[in-house]
Structure 1
Amino acid sequence: MRIPRVLTIAGSDSGGGAGIQADLKTFAARGVYGMSAVTAITAQNTTGVQGVFPLPASFVGRQIDSVMSDIGADIIKIGMLANKNIIDVVTSRLRKCKPKLVILDPVMIAKGGHALLKYDAQQSLLKKLVPLAFVITPNLHEARALTGLRINTIEDMKRAAVLLYERGARNVVIKGGHLPHNAYAVDVLYNGTTFHEFSVRRIRTKNTHGTGCTFASAIAAELARGKDIYEAVRIAKKYITSALKASRNLSIGKGHGPLNHSYGLISKK
């Protein structure tokens, strides 16, 4: 039996709730083998980001080379890339190793408002990585930055999805968790011809740290397991909803706590 393999290229969260830590927890929970190439080390906890230390772009490339030359990856999931130099290196490695699918979570702004990617790097990501993505998964803030649109309604989300599709992404998922005045959390999938809406009643919890990383990683895991994009998003939405509900059983930190990634694996003994 060959286990599906997913490589995450993203930043490290010292608090364990987001970044590669969330990615690897999600991969394990969804039954795939996870690997990582770290782009930046963050000093971070549930109250916010206290510091970011990007790794040299050449060393990010070396990590990717090490994984791909030996273990290989069916899917590559991309998160926080920190700067333009790292984006350039990651782009070159993707063109070289040609993974089956690339999942792009364009991490730009932390939940507390800390900027994680400068404007020039955002434009580089839009030009170089979006066209390589099988699916891109921006939240509303990221979709606004990438498209220049005001996004306050589901119809606005659909317009943003079309623009990102036209920039080269084969599928676009706009996450509507930050949509104002909505009792439901609605995500929109656009595949170039059809819109699909995934809607669940909004869960009242402050334990939302790492939701974007977890959602994109769950999509990556399901694609690696052979699901099509619609099923991958549907299952990922179900998983993250359950992980959010189960987070009420955790008491971690003073701010926005993490999801309960392993809710279905915890022993009842």
Structure 2
Amino acid sequence: MSRLIDAHVHLWNRATDPQPWIDPTTMAVIDRDFAPADLERMLDATGVDAAVVVQSSNSAAETRRLLAHPSSRIVGVVGWAELTADVAEQLDELDPSVRARLVGIRHLVHVDPDPAWLERPDVGTALEQLGARDLGFDLVVRSWQLPQAATVVAAHPGVRFVVDHLGGIAESDDDAGWEAGLRELAARPNAFAKISGLAGVMSGGDGAHLRRVVGVALDAFGPERLMFGSDWPLAELGAGPVAWRRAVDELIAELSPAERHAITSGTASAFYRLGP
């Protein structure tokens, strides 16, 4: 049986990688450090075999630290690089002993002060460099940025893109605008999506809304371009990773075994080149 993969988790040590966005009052449950041992306990609790760790700050030093974590349950790292500079040079500077663990790059586009960051010519050049290195790019955007993301994805057909958290639906109050943007993005064959970052939607008690959101994603992308992610430890702010994993299993229960396998393992393995 193929291993189950959580395609979106985070680790942080605030002594080296501060997380100033964490509110100690409203986010008390995650107002601490999270290490590989914590990740392994979470994976055991959710019945998942392995995880892809995703950067949480625009920091090359954080990326080097994530790559150096020895846990065998971490099968890949989505790190950060300065995409307004020479990406190939930055990748070549990584320690060769851990460079293979780098499976993708992400930039915190949703909080970048430049609203047109994705469309910068130098960023476009860097995206092409990622494609030449067979690395994917994680798109973390808000729903209003989805049309812009779709334009960029279309301009770089040789690059694989995956939109995190279904394009920020959890933070959107424009359901129709979100759906239109997500479908526009999904029309590009090199675009994928993560069913992640929705534990808060689930904890709100609106099961019908959650089913609709995931239903839109299934119709737009198909299971072969969707992957499961917990967004742990942020999932602790909502229903928690165990309840979220159970909810996803229920949401995809009517799919065929092959389609369920794509979402829980196959798509992430193929997108991030994780191997068997």
TM-score calculated relative to the size of structure 2: 0.43
TM-score calculated relative to the size of structure 1: 0.44
Higher-helix-fraction structure: 2
Higher-strand-fraction structure: 1
